[in-house]
Amino acid sequence: MARQVFFSFHYDDVLAVNVVRHSDTFRSRYKPSSRAFFDKSLWEETKKQGDLAIKRMINRGLEGSSVTCVLIGQETWERPWVRYELSRSFERGNGIFGVHIHQTGPDNAQLNSLASLLATPPTDPMVAAVFPQSAQPKGWWDASIGELLASVFTEPPPTPGPNPLSYLSVYINSYRRVASLHQWDVPFWWSLSEFAAIPVDRVPYRLAKSDDYIEFADLFPVYDWKADNGKDNFGDWIEQAARDAGR
C-alpha cells in the first residue's frame, strides 16, 4: 500500500535527510506528505509569520499522512518543532518511528583507508627505474593533496544523537480514562503540552501502564540507517509503524 510519510527533522541535517528521502526504497513506493519541509525558503518565510503559521504549516503537512518518521541527528532532540510534530502525530494516531542518520554517507573506516592511501605518494617500479626519486616527472604525485584529504577524512566515527522520543511522554489517567501529552523540561520534570487530553479508547497504541508517564521511546522503535540497512529495510519500517498504529 502506498503511504504518505511525514518526515520530522532538524534543518541542519537536511543533506543526510535527503539520503533517506531519495533512497530507492522510499522513492519507488512512498511520497513525503509536504514539500515545505524540504524547501528552506518556504520554511524560513513561514517562520517570519510566527508560531501560529508554523503550526498551520505542520498541520497541513500531516494531513493525509499515515506514518511519521523522525530522522535523528545530533540536535534533533531539542528542536521544539520536532517535539510539536511528534506530539501532533501521536494525537492523530500516525505510525511513528525514528531513524538515526549520523552514518548516511560512506563508511568511516573506508574513508580513513582511502585517506591513508592518498597521503602516501605511490611507487611504481617502472617509473623508479627510469627516474630517480629526485628526478621523477613533475606532477607525478603531489603529496599535499593526499595530506589535505587525510585531514578531512581521518576523523573518529560519528556517534548517534540523543533520541527525541525519550523527551516526550504520555500520561494515562486511569480514573478519567484519558491520555495527556508531556515533554521534558530540563532540569525540571514532565510538563503538560499544549495538546488536549485524548480519550484512551481513541489511542491506537499499546499503552500497558496507567497513572504513569510512558516515554515515546518505550512505544515506538528507533533504527540506525547504516547498521540496520535502511537502504533495503526502510519500506518495512514504514509498514510496521503503520500496522502498529492500525493504519
229 vs 39 pLDDT, higher one: 229
At residue 211, what is the residue type? Answer: D
Query: What is d(CA 235, CA 228) in angstroms, rounded to the nearest whole number?
Result: 12
Q: Which pTM does this prediction carry?
A: 0.80
The pLDDT, as a whole number, for residue 118 is: 52
3-state secondary structure of 234: helix
Q: By the 8 A CB rule, do 80 and 164 touch?
A: no
How many Cα atoms are found within 13 Å in the side-chain-facing hemisphere of 5? 29
Grid-cell match 531519495, residue found: 22
Residue 88 CA to its chain's centroid (Å): 17
Q: By the 8 A CB rule, do 224 and 20 touch?
A: no
Domain ranges within the chain, ordered by starting residue? 4-103+158-244, 108-153
Label residues 38-59 b or e (16+ Cβ within 10 Å = b): beeeebeebeeeeeeebbebbe
Q: By the 8 A CB rule, do 172 and 207 touch?
A: yes
The predicted model gives 209-238 an average pLDDT of 92
Banded pLDDT at 124 (limits 50, 70, 90): low
Query: What is d(CA 85, CA 83) in angstroms, rounded to the nearest whole number?
Result: 5
pLDDT surpasses 60 at 197: yes
The pLDDT, as a whole number, for residue 62 is: 96
pLDDT tens digits for range 32-69: 988 888 888 888 899 899 999 999 999 999 999 999 99
- For the ranges 25-29, 113-117, 153-157, which has the lowest average pLDDT? 113-117
At residue 38, what is the residue type? Answer: F
- Cα distances from 112 to residues 122, 142, 222, in angstroms, run 17, 19, 28
198 vs 206 pLDDT, higher one: 198
Percent of the chain with pLDDT over 70: 77
pLDDT surpasses 50 at 140: no
pLDDT surpasses 60 at 154: no
Banded pLDDT at 125 (limits 50, 70, 90): low
Banded pLDDT at 123 (limits 50, 70, 90): low
Banded pLDDT at 151 (limits 50, 70, 90): low
Antiparallel, parallel or unpaired: β 67-72 and 190-192:
unpaired
